[in-house]
């Protein structure tokens, strides 16, 4: 356990909360969840489930109706076909990934993880006794790994490649062609593709999302798709995620699940059934609002001198490069790293952001725009002012 780090994103959110509880007014741009309420039709479905006493253990891998709705979603949205025994429902996408790593990884297996990465990937791989192999993607490549970069880290111990598309923390997205090039390497080398597509629906500027499983049958045989309702339907607290993939892997994940959580919450499964099968109007409304906020916060960040920032096409984060300010100081507080910068911004600007080091990229910080435009405006005013105070 000494080799496993706690979640860096949860840590800063807890500190911001502690400051708020002391009456300090903190603008929180560290959040990893939509600020919208869960849509009313979904909440109603959960209430109905309670009234109907749908409150007992369910099938280990998820209720058949929800799995059917997920199968229909894959077919309609992604053009991919799955059978009931190729799908599992778990207590969040995080839980799906954990079950997957425990089921798939033998001691010493290597899992390739492009950095910047979502904080839990390397730690979960380590918890399953695997070895995370980090590839640093480049800002100038839009934080996407290239085929040459992928090939350079594959060894005879490589078990899988994780692709998070759209990506937390960068908002980077892969086009169908980029995905195909990487997936074909995986097929040639017999490596599994773990595709975390949880931000699939949160895409902007007309970006057309493509699931890696849709590329070809050969690729689908090696792909495990992880998705969930947390981000698309503002349902982070309901804890429902799902995975689809080859039936031997899914049944191994079900075995793992049968000995830890048993099944995902029965009421949340009913709510998720409504989320996936019911009207999608609220998803479109949320995406339209996120698009406005992304445009606004990006223009503010790009107006700070010496900052570079990718225009993200997905998720709800910006990942600007602040390294030009490293080495500067204010009132004796010197900024030498992304975590120094986070503490500086928390202390002097009263704005919570997440340090890039939590995602394996110390030149950057993560700003979330899953908060109101008023908060974003005030938060950016404070950040701009704090950056102006820094001196060489
Ligand atoms: C890339 C990514 N994958 C998975 C998750 C976990 O989602 P869930 O709430 O379904 O466990 C998150 C949540 O922050 C995420 O950003």
**pLDDT tens-digit map of 248-272:** 999 999 999 999 999 999 999 999 9
**Confidence class of residue 352 from pLDDT cuts 50, 70 and 90?**
very high
Q: What does the DSSP assignment read for 339-358?
A: HHHHHHIIIII-EE-EEGGG
Question: For 42-277, CATH number?
Answer: 3.40.640.10
Query: From the alpha carbon of 94, which atom of ligand 1 is closest?
Result: 11
Kindly list the protein residues whose Cβ atom lies closer than 6 A to any atom of ligand 1: 32, 92-94, 118, 164, 168, 196, 198, 228, 230, 236, 241
Q: Structural domain boundaries of the chain?
A: 8-30+282-389, 42-277
Q: Whose CA is nearest to atom 16 of ligand 1?
A: 168
Q: Is the pLDDT of residue 9 over 90?
A: no
Question: For 8-30+282-389, CATH number?
Answer: 3.90.1150.10
* C-alpha of residue 275 to centroid of ligand 1, in Å: 17
Burial bucket for residue 49 (CB in 10 Å: 0-12, 13-18, 19+)? buried
**Confidence class of residue 12 from pLDDT cuts 50, 70 and 90?**
confident
* C-alpha of residue 150 to centroid of ligand 1, in Å: 24
**pLDDT tens-digit map of 43-63:** 999 999 999 999 999 999 999
Chain mean pLDDT for the chain: 96
Q: Which of 98, 100, 118, 368 is the best mutation target for the ligand 1 pocket, counting ligand atoms within 8 Å of the beta carbon and taking the most?
A: 118
For the chain, give the percent of residues with pLDDT over 90. 93
Q: Which residues contact 324 (CB under 8 A, 6 or more apart)?
A: 306, 307
Whose CA is closest to 205, among 160, 173, 158? 173
**pLDDT tens-digit map of 139-176:** 999 999 999 999 999 999 999 999 999 999 999 999 99
**pLDDT tens-digit map of 221-242:** 999 999 999 999 999 999 999 9
Q: Is the pLDDT of residue 13 over 90?
A: no
Contact present, 166 and 200 (Cβ < 8 Å)? yes
- pTM across the whole model: 0.96
Q: Which of 94, 227, 312 is the best mutation target for the ligand 1 pocket, counting ligand atoms within 8 Å of the beta carbon and taking the most?
A: 94
Q: Which of 168, 170, 370 is the best mutation target for the ligand 1 pocket, counting ligand atoms within 8 Å of the beta carbon and taking the most?
A: 168
* C-alpha of residue 94 to centroid of ligand 1, in Å: 6
Q: Which residues contact 177 (CB under 8 A, 6 or more apart)?
A: none
For the chain, give the percent of residues with pLDDT over 70. 99
**Confidence class of residue 8 from pLDDT cuts 50, 70 and 90?**
low
């Amino acid at each position: 356990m000494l080799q496993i780090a706690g979640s860096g994103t949860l840590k800063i959110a807890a500190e911001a909360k502690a400051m708020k509880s002391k009456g300090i007014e903190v603008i929180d741009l560290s959040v990893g969840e939509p600020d919208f309420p869960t849509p009313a039709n979904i909440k109603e479905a959960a209430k109905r489930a309670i009234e109907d006493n749908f409150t007992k253990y369910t099938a280990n891998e998820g209720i058949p109706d929800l799995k059917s709705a997920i199968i229909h979603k894959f077919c309609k949205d992604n053009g991919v076909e799955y059978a009931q025994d190729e799908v599992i429902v778990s207590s969040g996408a995080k839980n799906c990934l954990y079950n997957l790593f425990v089921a798939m990884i033998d001691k010493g297996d290597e899992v390739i993880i492009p950095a910047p990465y979502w904080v839990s990937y390397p730690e979960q791989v380590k918890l399953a006794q695997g070895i995370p192999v980090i590839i640093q993607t480049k800002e100038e490549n839009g934080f996407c790994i290239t085929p040459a970069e992928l090939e350079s880290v594959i060894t005879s111990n490589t078990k899988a490649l994780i692709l998070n598309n759209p990506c937390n923390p960068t908002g980077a997205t892969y086009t169908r062609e980029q995905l195909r090039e990487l997936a074909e390497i995986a097929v040639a080398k017999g490596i599994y593709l773990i595709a975390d597509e949880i931000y699939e629906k949160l895409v902007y500027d007309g970006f057309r999302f493509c699931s890696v499983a849709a590329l070809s049958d050969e690729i689908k045989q090696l792909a495990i798709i992880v998705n969930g309702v947390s981000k698309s339907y503002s349902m982070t607290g309901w804890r429902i995620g799902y995975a689809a993939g080859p039936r031997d892997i899914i049944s191994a994940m079900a075995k793992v699940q049968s000995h830890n959580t048993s099944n995902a919450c029965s009421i949340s499964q009913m709510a998720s059934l409504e989320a996936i099968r019911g009207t999608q109007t609220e998803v479109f409304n949320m995406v339209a609002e996120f698009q406005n906020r992304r445009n606004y916060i990006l223009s503010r960040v790009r107006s700070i001198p010496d900052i570079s920032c990718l225009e993200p096409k997905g998720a709800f984060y910006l990942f600007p490069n602040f390294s030009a300010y490293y080495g500067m100081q204010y009132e004796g507080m010197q900024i030498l790293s992304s975590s120094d910068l986070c503490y500086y911004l928390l202390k002097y600007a009263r704005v919570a952001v997440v340090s890039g080091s939590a995602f394996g990229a110390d030149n950057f910080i993560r700003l979330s725009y899953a908060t109101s435009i008023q908060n974003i405006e005030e938060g950016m005013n404070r950040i701009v002012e704090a950056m102006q105070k820094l001196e060489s």
